[in-house]
Amino acid sequence: MDKKSATTRRTTIVVLPCFNEAQRLDVRAFAEFIADCPEIALLFVDDGSTDNTPLMLERLRQAHPQQIYTMRLGRNFGKAEAVRRGIQAAIRRAPDFVGYFDADLAAPLGEIPRLVNVLRTRPTVQLTMGSRVALLGREIQRSGWRHLLGRVFATTASYILGLPVYDSQCGAKLFRVTPELAAIFAQPFLSRWIFDVEILARVTANARNSNPTVDAGNLIYESPLDRWRDVGGSRLKPWDFVVAARDLVTIYRRYIWRAAVQRQAAARIANGGEPEREQRHAA
Cα–Cα distance between 46 and 277 in angstroms, integer? Answer: 46
Question: What pLDDT does residue 39 have?
Answer: 97
Question: Does residue 107 form part of some domain?
Answer: yes
Amino acid at 189: F
Cα–Cα distance between 174 and 38 in angstroms, integer? Answer: 17
Say how many domains are in the chain. 1
Backbone torsions φ then ψ of 242, nearest 5 degrees: -70, -45
C-beta neighbour count of 115 within 10 angstroms: 26
Q: With the C-alpha atoms ordered 8, 112, 96, 19, is the resulting torsion angle positive or negative?
A: negative
Which residues span the domain enclosing 12?
A: 7-282
pTM of the model: 0.87
Question: What pLDDT does residue 282 have?
Answer: 46
Question: Does residue 229 form part of some domain?
Answer: yes
User: Which CATH number goes with the domain that contains 166?
Assistant: 3.90.550.10
Q: Give the distance, in angstroms, between the CA of residue 99 and the centroid of all CA atoms in the same chain.
A: 6
Segment-wise mean pLDDT, segments of 10 residues, the chain, 283 residues: 69 98 94 97 97 97 97 96 98 98 95 97 96 89 75 85 89 95 96 92 85 81 92 62 84 81 67 55 45
Question: What pLDDT does residue 238 have?
Answer: 58
Strands (E), the chain: 12-18, 40-46, 68-72, 97-101, 127-131, 139-141, 172-176, 220-224, 227-229
Cα–Cα distance between 13 and 273 in angstroms, integer? Answer: 48
Cα–Cα distance between 225 and 135 in angstroms, integer? Answer: 9
C-beta neighbour count of 184 within 10 angstroms: 20
Question: What pLDDT does residue 278 have?
Answer: 44
Question: What pLDDT does residue 250 have?
Answer: 92
Contact in structure between 169 and 196 (CB atoms under 8 Å): yes
Question: What pLDDT does residue 142 have?
Answer: 79
Contact in structure between 61 and 47 (CB atoms under 8 Å): no
3-state SS string over 58-69? HHHHHHCCCCEE
Question: Does residue 1 form part of some domain?
Answer: no
Question: Does residue 2 form part of some domain?
Answer: no
Contact in structure between 121 and 211 (CB atoms under 8 Å): no
